[in-house]
């Protein structure tokens, strides 16, 4: 059915962008030890990942580490892009039904799981797992984005780097529009 | 009825002598001399410090010390600062306020840290204590500006209102207008934590105007740069000032107004705030820089060159808080300009980034250790470290009392040799004989704990994360560190053996926190059973610990000594291992 290579190119994985098999890569590098206490909202990976339950996911935030207080972290969020000479990537995020939009800096995130987790936390909703075949099927919400061509795309289809370079704004769709999205 | 002894004194004389003894330690010693000294001392103790609000009950404090005027209470464990303590854990101050309202009508000072303070508590304070002078809420939460309005309105002689680092539900800026026109007593006002954009600025200006003794004022982020000059001109006597937002389009008249206002403050020694800094406005500070002893730039997202320029104007600096944008080059400049430096804190600008975003390494800290002989207190976030650097720092700064190093990636080894950092931290504890506080990071084996147990005789607080190999590590610390009061550990392979073997040690400490370690539920129960003077609390948000086998490790464990017995305000996810409590269940 699916070409293995094809699947790998487009699947959602918990891995650093560009890395082929993140779990294996992590272990030999001495300064990237595996972490025992990792926060994750459940793996967003596809069936390929299921048997790799002993291998930890790549860089996901550990609760309370590094030990920086929340009010300090909040102060920095707004300023990153100014300091780096405007290389931050602020995009508007709208959620169907919410009274106002938010803005997030895509540069802060390194992978789809991180981004989706942040969106879930920001808007207090559940987006669910991505699959190439069915999108976010089963979830009440589906994240979509407007790309350079002005088209509305499902978040997760393209590799992360391609996504952040083409994403102009995000829209989290809700309800019946969302369910079944990805099933063309 | 004094004993007929040649050296006995009447009570009044003893009371007078005791009034010169301020330190708690000395007062405690005095109270142990004999029964009559105990009695006299307890009636004239005016200040009480309670490091753990659950170690003793309000009733017990009131019973022993009937005439207290000032109280300080601490609630949640330190790791609550990093979201490791779930909401609702405890630390409520209301019961304390309620009991003190009846017992201490003359209570004038309340200082709280990491406690939950509700508007109801604040309202109770406002109406119960007629001579209320000082309210410090350090890292507290649970209250809103409504509660502050009650304080402002009722406390006629308020001297200090300090809300530093607290989480306030900022409903409206109008609470400031509740200070009556007759209130002229303010000496210190810190509202830097207030979030909303609504600060009743005119009320603030009028308040500052009528308080000639105001020495310390910290504004919040909502106050814009153009307003600073107005405030400073009304309070040229300020010693400690926190700006709000330090950003605006560069306009010559705004700049010169600001520079003039700063230069009129001849007593100003300490600055903070500096959110959203526009570097072009920093030179407005140059006239006061030579007098500055303390500078908190930890919110200032400015680059190294601008930081260097500023710091080079401050030769008297004793305390600097800064982001890692300062880089090694900035710290080298600091080391050559600021020979009086005692405290340095460098915070990470990108704590979750995988790759370094700035050129800040161990070199910066080494440079400061070399150039600043008076360095005593360090908090340093970086991404790499070496044993050699730590040894150098230890040798350069034998007077360190606080050393907290956070290498951002857990278990990072010495970047030069790939060895664990045991030897480096070992050098720190060996050379810095007065070290009272230590935080470890990086790749560490049980050896580092052997060094700490051997040399850390004055160590009072130790923070450990992702370190050690076995129970031996914990055993070294518990058996060796004679002065240990607070120990907090996360994600270490420490289990039952060391804890149970050193159970008695825990009664000599304020508290022990262990999360994501290997302490079994069975061991917790045993400890709770055998040690009645300890409260052993297991925290688990997912399921009750007794729904699993006894050998299963607990998620989080908080043990503290207490004369009050188990507490009654535990939420459903906290289980007390106290025997009595279990019987009741």
CA distance B30 to B21: 9
Q: Which residues of A touch B140 (CB under 8 A)?
A: none
What distance in Å separates residue B357's CA from the closest CA in chain A? 9
Minimal Cβ distance to B411: which of A33, A70, A78: A33
Report the chain B residue with the minimal C-alpha distance to residue A33: B411
Cα radius of gyration rounded to whole Å, chain A: 17
Half-sphere exposure of A51 (CA within 13 A, CB side): 1
Residue corresponding to tokens 């262990």: B514
Least reliable range by pLDDT among A14-28, A146-160, B276-290: A14-28
Is residue B571, in this structure, part of any structural domain at all?
A: yes
The domain boundary residue, chosen from B30, B45, B60: B45
Q: Which residues of A touch B465 (CB under 8 A)?
A: 65, 67
Q: Which residues of B touch A78 (CB under 8 A)?
A: 276
Is residue B534, in this structure, part of any structural domain at all?
A: yes
Minimal Cβ distance to B410: which of A33, A73, A82: A33
- Asked if the Cβ–Cβ distance from A37 to B490 is below 8 Å, we say yes
A86 touches chain B (CB under 8 A): no
Chain B residues near any Cβ of chain A (below 8 Å): 79, 81-84, 165, 167, 193, 275-276, 298-299, 301-303, 325, 347-352, 354, 357, 381, 406, 408-413, 415, 418, 443, 465-466, 490-491, 516
- Of B482, B527, B530, B526, nearest in space to B508 by CA: B482
Q: Which residues of B touch A106 (CB under 8 A)?
A: none
Q: State how far Cα B245 lies from the chain centre.
A: 24
Alpha helices for A17-166 (secondary structure H): 22-26, 70-77, 80-83, 112-123, 160-166
Minimal Cβ distance to A67: which of B354, B406, B516: B406
A70 touches chain B (CB under 8 A): yes
Task: Please tell me the total count of domains within chain B.
Answer: 2
Say if strands B574-576 and B534-539 run parallel, antiparallel, or are unpaired: antiparallel
Return the number of other C-beta atoms located less than 10 Å from residue A148's C-beta.
9
Which domain range does residue B36 map to?
A: 6-45
Mean pLDDT over B200-204 rounds to 89
Is residue B223, in this structure, part of any structural domain at all?
A: no
CA distance B419 to B444: 9
Is residue B579, in this structure, part of any structural domain at all?
A: yes
Q: In terms of C-beta density within 10 A (0-12 exposed, 13-18 middle, 19 or more buried), how is residue B236 classed?
A: middle
Minimal Cβ distance to B82: which of A30, A33, A67: A67
Cβ atoms of B228 and B265 closer than 8 Å: no
Q: State how far Cα B345 lies from the chain centre.
A: 13
Is residue B453, in this structure, part of any structural domain at all?
A: no
What distance in Å separates residue B40's CA from the closest CA in chain A? 44
Structure tokens at A100: 């106002």
Name the A residues in 24-43 with CB < 8 Å from any B CB. 30-33, 35-37
Reduce the DSSP state of residue A112 to 3 states and report it.
helix
Tell me what the pLDDT averaged over chain B comes to.
94
Half-sphere exposure of A29 (CA within 13 A, CB side): 11
pLDDT at A141 over 80: yes
Percent of chain A with pLDDT over 90: 8
Reduce the DSSP state of residue B52 to 3 states and report it.
coil
- Residue-wise pLDDT for A68-86, tens only, equals 998 888 777 554 333 333 4
Percent of chain B with pLDDT over 70: 97
CA distance B13 to B2: 12
- Asked if the Cβ–Cβ distance from A36 to B84 is below 8 Å, we say no
- Asked if the Cβ–Cβ distance from B348 to A68 is below 8 Å, we say yes
pLDDT at A26 over 60: no
- Who contacts B461 (Cβ-Cβ below 8 Å, separation ≥6)? B436, B437, B438, B484, B485, B486, B487, B488
Q: For residue B27, what is the enclosing H or E element? A: helix B24-31
Q: Which residues of A touch B347 (CB under 8 A)?
A: 68, 72
pLDDT band at A166; cut points 50, 70, 90: confident
- DSSP class of residue B573 equals T
- Residue-wise pLDDT for B534-583, tens only, equals 999 999 998 898 899 999 999 999 999 999 999 999 999 999 998 666 65
Mutation target among A67, A70, A80, A106 for the B interface, most CBs of B within 10 A: A67
pLDDT band at A102; cut points 50, 70, 90: confident
pLDDT at B3 over 70: no
- pLDDT value for A88: 60
- pLDDT value for B30: 94
Least reliable range by pLDDT among A123-137, B153-167, B319-333, B400-414: A123-137
Minimal Cβ distance to B410: which of A65, A75, A82: A65
Is residue B13, in this structure, part of any structural domain at all?
A: yes
Cβ atoms of B193 and B165 closer than 8 Å: yes
What distance in Å separates residue B312's CA from the closest CA in chain A? 22
- Of A59, A52, A80, nearest in space to B303 by CA: A80
Q: State how far Cα B581 lies from the chain centre.
A: 32
Half-sphere exposure of B405 (CA within 13 A, CB side): 30
Q: Which has more confidence, B338 or A19? A: B338
- pLDDT value for A80: 37
- Residue-wise pLDDT for B430-449, tens only, equals 999 999 999 999 999 999 99
Q: Which has more confidence, B80 or B197? A: B80
Report the chain B residue with the minimal C-alpha distance to residue A62: B352
Is residue B523, in this structure, part of any structural domain at all?
A: yes
Reduce the DSSP state of residue B358 to 3 states and report it.
coil
Say if strands B343-347 and B294-297 run parallel, antiparallel, or are unpaired: unpaired
- pLDDT value for B582: 62
| DSSP codes of every residue in B89-124 | ---B-HHHHHHHHHH-TT--EEEEES-B--HHHHHH
pLDDT band at A29; cut points 50, 70, 90: very low
Name the A residues in 87-126 with CB < 8 Å from any B CB. 108, 110
- pLDDT value for A50: 41
Is residue B576, in this structure, part of any structural domain at all?
A: yes
Return the number of other C-beta atoms located less than 10 Å from residue B435's C-beta.
26
Mutation target among A27, A31, A105 for the B interface, most CBs of B within 10 A: A31
User: Secondary structure of chain A: what % helix, strand, coil (to 5)?
Assistant: 30, 15, 55
pLDDT band at B480; cut points 50, 70, 90: very high
What distance in Å separates residue B506's CA from the closest CA in chain A? 25
Mutation target among A26, A58, A66 for the B interface, most CBs of B within 10 A: A66
- Residue-wise pLDDT for B15-24, tens only, equals 999 999 989 9
| DSSP codes of every residue in B272-318 | E--BT--GGGGGGGTTTGGG--EEEETT----HHHHHHHHTT-TT--
Q: State how far Cα B12 lies from the chain centre.
A: 38
Percent of chain B with pLDDT over 90: 89
pLDDT at A15 over 50: no
CATH of the domain at B29: 1.20.1280.50
Structure tokens at B511: 């508290």
- Asked if the Cβ–Cβ distance from A72 to B347 is below 8 Å, we say yes
The domains located in chain A, with CATH, are: 90-179 (3.10.20.90)
Q: Is the bond preceding residue B507 a cis peptide, omega within 30 degrees?
A: no
């Amino acid at each position: 059915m699916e070409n293995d290579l094809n699947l790998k190119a487009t699947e959602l994985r918990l891995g650093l962008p560009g890395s082929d098999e993140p779990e294996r890569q992590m272990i030999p590098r001495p300064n990237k030890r595996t972490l025992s206490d990792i926060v994750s909202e459940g793996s967003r990976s596809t069936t390929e990942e299921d048997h790799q339950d002993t291998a930890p996911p790549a860089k996901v935030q550990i609760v309370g580490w590094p030990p920086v207080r929340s009010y300090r972290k909040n102060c920095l969020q707004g300023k990153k892009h100014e300091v780096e000479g405007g290389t931050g990537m602020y995009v508007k995020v709208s959620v169907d039904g919410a009274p106002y939009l938010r803005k997030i800096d895509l540069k802060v995130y390194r992978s789809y799981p991180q981004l989706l987790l942040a969106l879930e936390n920001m808007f207090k909703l559940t987006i669910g797992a991505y699959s190439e075949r069915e999108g976010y099927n089963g979830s009440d919400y589906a994240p979509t984005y407007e790309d350079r061509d002005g088209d509305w795309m499902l978040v997760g289809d393209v590799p992360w780097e391609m996504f952040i370079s083409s994403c102009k704004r995000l829209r989290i769709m809700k309800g019946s529009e969302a369910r079944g999205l990805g099933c063309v | 009825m004094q004993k007929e002894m040649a050296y006995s004194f009447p009570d009044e004389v003893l009371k007078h002598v005791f009034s010169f003894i301020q330190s708690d330690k000395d007062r405690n010693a005095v109270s142990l001399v004999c029964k009559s000294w105990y009695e006299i001392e307890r009636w004239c103790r005016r200040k009480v410090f309670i490091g753990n609000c659950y170690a003793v009950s309000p009733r017990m404090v009131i019973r022993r010390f009937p005439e207290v005027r000032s109280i300080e209470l601490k609630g949640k464990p330190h790791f609550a600062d990093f979201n490791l303590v779930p909401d609702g854990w405890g630390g409520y101050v209301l019961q304390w306020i309620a009991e003190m309202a009846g017992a201490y009508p003359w209570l004038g000072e309340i200082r709280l840290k990491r406690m939950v303070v509700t508007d109801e508590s604040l309202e109770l304070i406002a109406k119960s204590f007629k001579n209320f002078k000082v309210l410090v809420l350090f890292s507290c939460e649970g209250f809103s500006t409504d509660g502050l309005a009650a304080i402002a309105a009722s406390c006629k002689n308020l001297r200090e209102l300090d809300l530093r680092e607290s989480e306030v539900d900022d409903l409206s800026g109008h609470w400031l207008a509740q200070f009556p026109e007759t209130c002229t007593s303010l000496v210190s006002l810190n509202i830097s934590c207030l979030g909303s954009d609504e600060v009743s600025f005119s009320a603030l200006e009028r308040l500052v105007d009528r308080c000639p003794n105001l020495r310390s004022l910290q504004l919040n982020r909502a106050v814009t740069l153009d307003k600073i000059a107005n405030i400073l001109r009304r309070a040229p006597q300020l010693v400690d000032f926190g700006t709000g937002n330090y950003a605006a389009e560069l306009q010559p008249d705004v700049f010169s107004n600001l520079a003039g206002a700063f230069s009129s403050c001849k007593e100003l020694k300490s600055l903070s705030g500096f959110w959203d800094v526009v570097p072009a406005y920093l030179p407005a500070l140059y006239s006061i820089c030579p007098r500055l002893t303390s500078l908190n730039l930890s919110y200032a997202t400015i680059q190294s060159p601008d930081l260097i320029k500023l710091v080079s104007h401050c030769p008297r600096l004793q305390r600097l808080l800064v982001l890692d944008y300062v880089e090694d080059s900035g710290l080298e400049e600091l080391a050559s300009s600021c020979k009086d430096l005692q405290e340095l804190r460098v915070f990470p600008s990108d704590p979750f980034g995988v790759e370094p975003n700035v050129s800040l390494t161990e070199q910066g800290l080494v440079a400061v250790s070399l150039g600043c002989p008076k360095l005593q207190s360090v908090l340093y976030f970086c991404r790499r470290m070496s044993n050699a650097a730590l040894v150098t720092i230890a040798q350069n700064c034998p007077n360190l009392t606080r050393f907290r190093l956070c290498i951002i990636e857990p278990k990072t080894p010495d970047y030069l040799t790939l060895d664990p950092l045991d030897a480096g931290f070992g050098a720190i504890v060996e050379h810095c004989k007065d070290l009272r506080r230590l935080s470890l990071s990086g790749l560490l084996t049980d050896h580092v704990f052997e060094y700490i147990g051997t040399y850390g005789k004055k160590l009072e607080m130790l923070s450990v994360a992702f370190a050690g190999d076995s129970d031996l590590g914990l055993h070294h610390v518990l058996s060796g560190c004679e002065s240990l009061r607070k120990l907090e550990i996360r994600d270490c392979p420490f289990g039952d053996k060391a804890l149970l073997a050193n159970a008695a040690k825990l009664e000599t400490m304020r508290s022990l926190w262990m999360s994501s370690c290997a302490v079994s539920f069975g061991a917790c129960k045993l400890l709770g059973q055998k040690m009645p003077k300890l409260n052993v609390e297991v925290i688990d948000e997912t399921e009750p610990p007794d729904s699993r086998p006894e050998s299963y490790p607990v998620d989080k464990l908080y043990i503290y000594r207490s004369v009050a017995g188990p507490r009654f305000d535990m939420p459903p996810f906290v289980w007390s291992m106290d025997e009595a409590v279990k019987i009741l269940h």
